[in-house]
């Protein structure tokens, strides 16, 4: 049966403006995918529609279709008039085991923070009881803030990684998850042999395909300093063999970049190290941060179709730098907004959207960047919905992040705001939610046409 969700529909098929259907409708088929968007339920029952500016209207030759004559059941209308209906958020860079340390140790920069705060916390995830407790809390929080699809780093522990994937399956959320691979430059309790790392990765891939079919696997070398050439070569073979995506870090911190240069003096740039070992598969790669890229690296990311995960809150917290977002967008790079929990202390994507906008404005105070155009709200919203949602479509796990026909209906219903004297249009209500709302404003969460109940409450 087709369902029709009625409300103030707002989404961004393109980054430069919102598409708005005030008191509009989204029709969703039995498969959970959007079939049409229109101005009213009666319009949905027409054979055809056409675009008129930012509105979707019937075609001139369309005629009402009789559901009685066709034998089809009458569509069920879900009335959410007065509420916003927006795509749910997609976070392409989050560290699930770091959730317990959100806000901790942020007086330090990246490498010292990893050594003194991150690694000690992640070592506790060798204990499945600790992992289960904190992964449930993490997934509950992610659900609350409306991030229904994401790409998560786990730890190097096989049992705990499989547990995270199992809990994701149980929760109804649909992320991709990767076991972290590390065989050098880490505390002893977080080091594994190259062979063990590769064998464990293969076992998780095999087990998860049967046990957690809605949860994808993403190959996850932590970053170049923690992975030997032998491990990267082996991971590249796994990527080719299984056609898997890759996630890692790139050009986050100047000390990190210099460290990579010393480790691989024969490779011109950090990005080219990943590429040399087959860890930048075309159209299936996420690289987080990308603050200090060279022009050579920008060209490589564009050529490989890499998603560059911009983590503005994290970059400020660890004093890593201000990503030149406008320059990267102008270079044709697929930039999205991400949380990077826990260096980003807040998993809320609206908070990251605001931080991305503010950071782009701050960048214009740097010499040489005075003429960079700051991000508009529609652009930053696009970078937290449709742009990262395209990654899931590219790896065969559903096009999401927008209400265009053929996309999975992943959505949030945001409650109507009572008594605002401005009588705000939908765009204004969305801005209020992004800048000043929170999870208490989210009434419903939908994935692929079905509501997702609160997990692990």
What rounded mean pLDDT belongs to the chain? 94
State yes or no: cis peptide before 342, omega within 30 of 0: yes
pTM here?
A: 0.94
Q: Is residue 79 a part of any domain in this protein?
A: yes
What residue numbers bound the domain in which 122 lies? 89-394
Among 367, 394, 421, which residue terminates a domain? 394
Judged against a pLDDT cut of 70, whether residue 100 lies above it is answered with yes
Asked whether residue 28 falls in the same domain as residue 129, the answer is no
- Tell me, yes or no, whether 444 and 381 share the same domain: no
User: Is residue 138 located within the same domain as residue 101?
Assistant: yes
Domain boundary among 394, 419, 438: 394
Mark whether 411 and 379 lie in a shared domain. Answer: no
Same domain, yes or no, for 437 and 302? no
Within a 10 A sphere around the Cβ of 245, how many other Cβ atoms?
Answer: 26
Same domain, 258 and 314: yes
pLDDT tens digits for 26-69? 999 999 999 999 988 778 764 444 434 344 444 444 434 434 34
- In terms of domains, do 288 and 410 share one? no
Same domain assignment for residues 382 and 432:
no
**Long-range CB contacts for residues 235-243, cutoff 8 Å, separation at least 24:** 235/181, 235/198, 235/201, 235/277, 235/278, 235/279, 236/277, 236/278, 236/279, 237/278, 238/198, 238/201, 238/202, 238/205, 239/278, 239/279, 239/281, 240/278, 240/281, 242/205, 242/217, 243/284
250-289 confidence digits (pLDDT tens): 999 999 999 999 999 999 999 999 999 999 999 999 999 9
CATH of the domain at 134: 3.20.20.140
CATH number of domain containing 79: 2.30.40.10
Residue 341 is classified by DSSP as T
Domain match, 390 and 346 both: yes
Residues 302 and 408 in one domain: no
Residue 74 in domain: yes
> pLDDT-derived band of residue 224, with 50, 70 and 90 as boundaries?
very high
8 Å CB contact between 285 and 250:
no
Number of domains the chain is built from: 2
Does residue 282 belong to any structural domain of this protein?
Answer: yes
Q: Rounded to 5 degrees, what are φ and ψ at 34?
A: -65, 135
């Amino acid at each position: 049966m087709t369902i029709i969700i009625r409300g103030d529909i707002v989404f961004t098929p393109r980054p430069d403006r919102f598409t708005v259907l005030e008191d509009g409708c989204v029709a969703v088929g039995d498969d959970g995918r959007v079939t049409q968007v229109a101005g009213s339920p009666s319009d949905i029952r027409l054979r055809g529609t056409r675009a008129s500016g930012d509105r979707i209207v019937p075609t001139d030759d369309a005629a009402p279709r009789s559901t009685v004559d066709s034998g089809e059941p009458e569509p069920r209308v879900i009335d959410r008039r007065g509420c916003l209906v927006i795509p749910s958020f997609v976070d392409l860079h989050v560290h699930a085991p770091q959730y317990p340390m959100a806000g901790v140790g942020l007086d330090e920069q990246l490498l010292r923070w990893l050594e003194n705060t991150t690694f000690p916390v992640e070592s506790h995830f060798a204990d499945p009881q600790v992992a289960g407790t904190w992964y449930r809390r993490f997934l509950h929080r992610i659900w609350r803030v409306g991030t229904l699809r994401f790409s998560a780093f786990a730890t190097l522990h096989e049992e705990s990684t499989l547990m995270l994937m199992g809990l994701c399956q149980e929760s109804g959320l649909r992320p991709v998850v990767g076991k972290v691979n590390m065989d050098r430059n880490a505390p002893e309790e977080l080091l594994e042999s190259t062979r063990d790392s590769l064998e464990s990765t293969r076992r998780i891939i095999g087990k998860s395909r049967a046990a957690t079919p809605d949860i994808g696997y993403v190959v996850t070398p932590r970053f170049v300093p923690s992975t030997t050439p032998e491990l990267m070569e082996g991971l590249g073979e796994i990527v080719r063999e299984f056609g898997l995506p890759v996630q890692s870090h790139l050009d986050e911190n100047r000390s990190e970049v210099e460290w990579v240069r010393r480790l691989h003096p024969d490779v011109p740039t950090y990005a080219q190290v990943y590429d040399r070992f087959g860890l930048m598969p075309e159209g299936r790669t996420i690289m987080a941060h990308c603050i200090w890229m060279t022009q050579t690296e920008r060209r490589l990311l564009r050529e490989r179709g890499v998603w560059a995960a911009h983590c503005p809150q994290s970059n400020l917290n660890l004093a890593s730098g201000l990503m030149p977002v406008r320059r990267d967008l102008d270079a044709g790079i697929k930039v999205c907004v991400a949380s990077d929990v826990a260096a980003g202390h807040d998993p809320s994507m609206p908070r990251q959207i605001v931080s991305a906008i503010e950071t782009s404005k701050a960048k214009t105070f740097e010499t040489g960047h005075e003429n960079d155009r700051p991000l508009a709200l529609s652009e930053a919203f696009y970078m937290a919905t449709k742009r990262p949602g395209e990654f899931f479509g590219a790896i065969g796990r559903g096009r999401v992040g927008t209400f265009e026909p053929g996309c999975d209906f992943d959505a949030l219903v945001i409650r109507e705001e009572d008594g605002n004297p401005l009588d705000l249009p939908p765009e204004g209500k969305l801005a209020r939610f992004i800048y000043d709302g929170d999870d208490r404003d989210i009434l419903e969460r939908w994935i692929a046409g079905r509501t997702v109940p609160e997990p692990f409450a």
